[in-house]
Amino acid sequence: MNPEVEVAPVLEEAVIQRTLGAALRTGGDFAEVFVEDKRSSSAMFDDGRVEELSSGRDRGAGIRVVVGDTTGFAHTADLSEGGLRSAAEAAAAAARGGGGGVRTVELTRQETTPPNPVGVYPESVGKGTKVELLRRADEAARSEGGSIKQVRARYGDSRRQILVANSDGLLAGDDQVRTLFVVSTVAFGDTGMQTGYESVGRTVGFELFDTYEVEDIARTSARRAITKLDARPAPSGTLPVVIGPGGGGVLFHEACGHGLEKDLVDKGASVFKGRMGQQVASPLVTLVDDGTMAEEWGAYGIDDEGTPAQRNVLIQDGVLTDYMWDFLRSRKAGRQLSGNGRRQSYQHLPMVRMTNTYMLGGKDDPASIVASTENGVYVSHLGGGQVNTASGDFVFGMTEAYLIEDGKITDPIREGNLIGNGPKVLTEIDAVGNDFAMGSPGMCGKDGQGVPVGDGVPTLRVQALTVGGTAA
Amino acid sequence: MSSGSGDLYDVADLVVGAAEGSEQVEAYVTHSRETQIRVYEGEVEQLSVAETLGVGVRIVRDGRQGFAYCGTFDADSVREAVADARDNAAFAEPDEFAGVGSPDSVEPADLDLWRSELLDVPTDRKVAIAVELEQAVRAADGRITGVESCDYGDTAGEVVVATSTGIRRSARTTGSQLIAFALADDGDAGSSQTGFGFSLGRTFDDLDVGVAAGDAARRATRMLGATKPKSDRLTVVLDPWVSAQLLGIVAGTLSAEEVVKGRSLFAERVGEEVAMPAFTLVEDATDARSWGATPIDDEGLATRRVPLISGGVLDGFVHSTWTARRMGTASTGSAVRGGFKSTPNADCRSVSLVPGSVGPEELIAGIDDGILVQEVSGLHSGVNPVSGDLSTGAEGLRIRGGAVAEPLREFTLASTLQRLLHDVVAIGSDLTWLPMSAAGLTLVIADVSISGQ
């Protein structure tokens, strides 16, 4: 244990009790205090030099009060008892409760099991050491070839300590440490400029760099940019698409992940509404959302409503088995909590969110999946995506992709989007490899809030996806 | 919590007053008050009232830049941020062009962006207008099955920028908005469709429930029964909502920061024809109609009109203090930050294309075979502003014989940014200010790749 490490945001239990009491004074059915103390630091290398180091602290509390179906919310950066009381009163007023009374909440501390221990807390590592990683990455990327004209490398870490207390008597805390390293490159050739990108992010401390060499991250980024200098225009039209291991998890995140979030389902904004127990995907598909997955980017001990992270099977052998839930919806339905209530910061209300969402590996040999595809596209790395959960239509970007011609991976193709319809694509997965891997760290946006998520897939083939290129 | 830019100046002065020796110090201090209301089935689902404070501290010492922030005006926390920024600076590498802004001769425009009456509107009226919007959406069309979300929001934000080099300025803006996402279904098995509608204002009385509800219902219902088109090369008509998103990406490539760092496809092309001859693009944050309007940039310099492309010829780029020094020119007052937690970059905030003389109906009437594109998706994943490769998911209506026909969905548009600017064949007269960095208008573009069936 590092001596510089401070313990979780300390608020006396009595203060929390009195704050919950103030929140319930107008007759709320439920009240919650969420306290956050997050320290972040980053270092940026760009254009051949260490450009800037940045650090900051976000510290405050968000308080919500629920009256019937109405939630009132207020937040404050003032963690004194007076500051908390003012926020509690504002949240209670916002919830528009009627008469109330005095209620006392007995708090019971819940033990939190972190997904993994943290080896080296980021604040215990000197800034000079962090900066040195950036220089090494720049050098490694440029050593990949003279066509690499620009390198941007970013190191980032955060330590987020949270405490959740609610009127059901819950008191729980977590200490979430994340470390990220990103390298973006630009290659220049006869065909113009192309970009490469690679990132590694884990819910761990500085020991990340015992597992990952920054040179490898940099070289992967540079290689992606250089490869695309020779890329042909992407095809235009509907083709079989083989997605490589790890790099394609965003497919499920967009094709069905968001549609399985219970808040969207409840409002009729999901194509998966009313389909529980039905076959919604190929029997080859088993989809899991797992916040306990050690070291993964979307892992944590408790969610932002105090519920321990869990492993939830959403689709089993193609059959829809569960949605993802937040605390209030689970509580109302009288069902088990799923641990998917997350928020960007203490300034936000929690929502149903994914954690690490992945498809389990299958039986097929990855090489034979490619060999049995006559003509198509092989995508080894996907960028971001977007989905309309009501219609199920989604897109995602290919950042590294190749043509498949006569069962062989051939020329690289330029960047573009793939477009498909979630429910249709799920049923059209006809081959699943035995090479499951997790992918790159992601930042998932929903209703204006971003949270870290992970994803993963084995090699898989979709019989038909629309490839948004320009080549006939 | 007290308010007013007086407090912000006090915090900024505390930061700037901490400058040591020859170092340069910049304080970026923000204070915003927000109300967010979401209604569902006639009741308030969420109501949040918030006040957010922020302080960003940039220190440049011997050409080395460090930055730190805190989310409070508490003096000890602010002093800690100053100390952290100074310590961070020690680990950056020296850059002769690094520095905070310096006063120049341009005075900030007198813009009417603040309506104090918004702060006095009672919460009940805000709830009532959101409920009214939800009812109006549900009543607008028999095929509307519900709303996914129906929100009222307002914000009153103030910012102070002060530097040890003598800048000491403030700006403040208010804004209010209504936005609804409607769900529509015509009974066919299969998918529902969604559509959004919004109304924006500087104050409460600017909001128009009818516009927001009508747009949401129209956008949700127009895609019912949509099919996937065949792959083809066609003329596409981009509506203002779509063109604004693409013009915003073009504007981003005209940041001098991207240019000097070798990431802009328009570097080295000043004076060359980069677009069709009627294409004239201007950045102007002093235009009060723009939702990005502000009298000062995020380094405290006056914003000003910056010609970017005139008659298809590239004029130049938008500059921050750093890019201007590096390229041997003057800042264009175009420093933009993501918020108090980040340092400024050169970027556009209020770009618009000089409109043409013909309205959208007349433009469509001249097209025999094409697609009116009303929504795009995956711009962040499908447009690479460095290579110029462009591929985006799209929805819209078929144009046949000069008239709009059946709805189309689940297809992509592809081209490159370079080609697209030359392939514009007509620019509409319908300039529309939207809540993004560019205004939109109807754009007709020839020979675009459509991927579908």
pLDDT, position A104: 74
**Tokens 């693409």, residue located:** B246
Most confident of the following: A25-34, A89-98, A281-290, A415-424? A281-290
Find out whether B199 and B129 touch, Cβ atoms under 8 Å.
Answer: no
pLDDT, position A101: 65
CB atoms within 10 A of CB A187: 29
Question: In degrees rounded to 5, what are phi and psi of residue A137?
Answer: -65, -40
pLDDT, position B255: 97
What's the pLDDT tens digit per position in B356-405?
Answer: 999 999 999 999 999 999 999 998 888 999 999 999 999 999 999 999 99
- E strand or H helix that includes residue A167: none
Band (pLDDT 50/70/90 cuts) for residue A2 is very low
* Angstrom distances, CA of residue A454 to CA of A154, A295, B233: 19, 10, 37
Band (pLDDT 50/70/90 cuts) for residue A453 is very high
Say yes or no to pLDDT of A63 above 90: yes
Given an 8 Å threshold on Cβ–Cβ distance, is A396 in contact with B378? yes
Decide the pairing of beta strands A460-468 and A429-432: antiparallel
Please indicate if any CB of chain A lies within 8 Å of the CB of B329: no
Instruction: Quote the tokens at residue A469.
Output: 């290129």
Paired with A173 in beta bridges are A163
What's the pLDDT tens digit per position in A338-367?
Answer: 999 999 999 999 999 999 999 999 999 999
Nearest to A52 among B343, B378, B411 (CB): B343
Given an 8 Å threshold on Cβ–Cβ distance, is B70 in contact with A57? yes
Interface mutation vs chain B, best among A39, A49, A54, most B CBs within 10 Å: A54
Given an 8 Å threshold on Cβ–Cβ distance, is A96 in contact with B342? no
Say yes or no to pLDDT of B231 above 60: yes
Residue type, A157: D
Taking one residue from A and the other from B, the number of pairs with CB-CB distance under 8 angstroms is 270
pLDDT, position A4: 41
Band (pLDDT 50/70/90 cuts) for residue A175 is very high
pLDDT, position B188: 67
At residue A264, the 3 state secondary structure works out as helix
pLDDT, position B368: 96
**Tokens 């088993």, residue located:** A286
At residue B16, the 3 state secondary structure works out as helix
pLDDT, position A377: 97
Q: How far is A363 from chain B (nearest CA, A)?
A: 31
Please indicate if any CB of chain B lies within 8 Å of the CB of A269: yes
Interface mutation vs chain B, best among A419, A421, A446, most B CBs within 10 Å: A419
What's the pLDDT tens digit per position in B207-227?
Answer: 999 999 999 999 999 989 999
Q: Where are the alpha helices (DSSP H) in B400-448?
A: 417-423
pLDDT, position A268: 87
Q: Where are the alpha helices (DSSP H) in B17-169?
A: 75-89, 123-139
What's the pLDDT tens digit per position in B380-390?
Answer: 888 999 999 99
Given an 8 Å threshold on Cβ–Cβ distance, is B81 in contact with A415? no
Q: What is the DSSP string of B41-63?
A: TTEEEEEEEEEEEEEEEEEEETT
Find out whether A155 and A180 touch, Cβ atoms under 8 Å.
Answer: yes
Find out whether B4 and B73 touch, Cβ atoms under 8 Å.
Answer: no
Q: Which residues of A touch B413 (CB under 8 A)?
A: 468
Paired with B412 in beta bridges are B393, B451
Instruction: Quote the tokens at residue B242.
Output: 């779509």
- Give the torsion sign (CA, A132, A136, A142, A143): positive
Please indicate if any CB of chain B lies within 8 Å of the CB of A406: no
Q: Where are the alpha helices (DSSP H) in B174-310?
A: 209-222, 240-252, 256-260
Distance CA A261, CA A272 (A): 9
User: Minimal CA–CA distance to B66: which of B33, B113, B124, B24?
Assistant: B24
Please indicate if any CB of chain A lies within 8 Å of the CB of B180: no
In whole numbers, what is the pLDDT of chain B averaged over residues?
A: 95
Please indicate if any CB of chain A lies within 8 Å of the CB of B452: yes
Q: How far is A210 from chain B (nearest CA, A)?
A: 23
CB atoms within 10 A of CB B28: 31
Nearest to A393 among B88, B389, B409 (CB): B409
Share of chain A above pLDDT 70, in %: 96
Given an 8 Å threshold on Cβ–Cβ distance, is A392 in contact with B191? yes
Secondary structure letter of residue A324 according to DSSP = B
Q: What is the mean pLDDT of residues B239-243?
A: 97
Band (pLDDT 50/70/90 cuts) for residue B251 is very high
Given an 8 Å threshold on Cβ–Cβ distance, is B262 in contact with A188? yes
Decide the pairing of beta strands B305-310 and B313-314: antiparallel
Q: How far is A311 from chain B (nearest CA, A)?
A: 28
pLDDT, position A100: 62
Can you point out the beta strands (E) in A388-441? 393-405, 408-413, 416-421, 429-432, 437-438
Say yes or no to pLDDT of A250 above 90: no
* Angstrom distances, CA of residue B62 to CA of A43, A115, B328: 18, 44, 20
**Tokens 């000043």, residue located:** B270
Instruction: Quote the tokens at residue A113.
Output: 């099991």
Say yes or no to pLDDT of A105 above 90: no
Nearest to B386 among A57, A60, A195 (CB): A195
Given an 8 Å threshold on Cβ–Cβ distance, is B48 in contact with A349? yes
Q: Which residues of B touch A78 (CB under 8 A)?
A: 72
Say yes or no to pLDDT of A3 above 80: no
**Tokens 């302080």, residue located:** B55
Paired with A444 in beta bridges are A451
Cα Rg for chain B, rounded, in angstroms? 24
Q: Where are the alpha helices (DSSP H) in A143-211?
A: 208-211
**Tokens 């059915």, residue located:** A29
* Angstrom distances, CA of residue B431 to CA of B98, B276, B427: 38, 18, 10
Phi-psi category of B145—alpha, beta or left, where left has phi over 0 and alpha has psi -120 to 50?
A: alpha
Cα Rg for chain A, rounded, in angstroms? 24
What's the pLDDT tens digit per position in B28-79?
Answer: 999 999 999 999 999 999 999 889 999 999 999 999 999 999 999 999 999 9
Provide the b/e sequence for B58-67 (b: ≥16 CB within 10 Å).
Answer: bbbbeebbbb
pLDDT, position A6: 46
Distance CA B407, CA B219 (A): 11
pLDDT, position B2: 39
Find out whether B266 and B272 touch, Cβ atoms under 8 Å.
Answer: no
Q: How far is A424 from chain B (nearest CA, A)?
A: 11
In whole numbers, what is the pLDDT of chain A averaged over residues?
A: 93
Q: What is the mean pLDDT of residues B286-292?
A: 96
Higher confidence at residue B191 or residue B178?
B178
Given an 8 Å threshold on Cβ–Cβ distance, is B193 in contact with A468? no
Nearest to B382 among A51, A150, A468 (CB): A468
Residues whose CB is less than 8 angstroms from the CB of residue A189 and which lie 6 or more positions away in sequence, other chains included: A147, A229, A230
Please indicate if any CB of chain B lies within 8 Å of the CB of A335: no
Please count the CA atoms within 13 angstroms of the CA of B349 that sit on its side-chain side. Answer: 29
Find out whether B359 and B365 touch, Cβ atoms under 8 Å.
Answer: no
Find out whether B346 and B257 touch, Cβ atoms under 8 Å.
Answer: yes
pTM: 0.94
Given an 8 Å threshold on Cβ–Cβ distance, is B183 in contact with A390? yes
* Residues found in chain A: 472
Q: What is the mean pLDDT of residues B333-345?
A: 97
Distance CA B311, CA B324 (A): 25
Q: How far apart are the first and last CA of chain A?
A: 60
Distance CA A468, CA A236 (A): 5
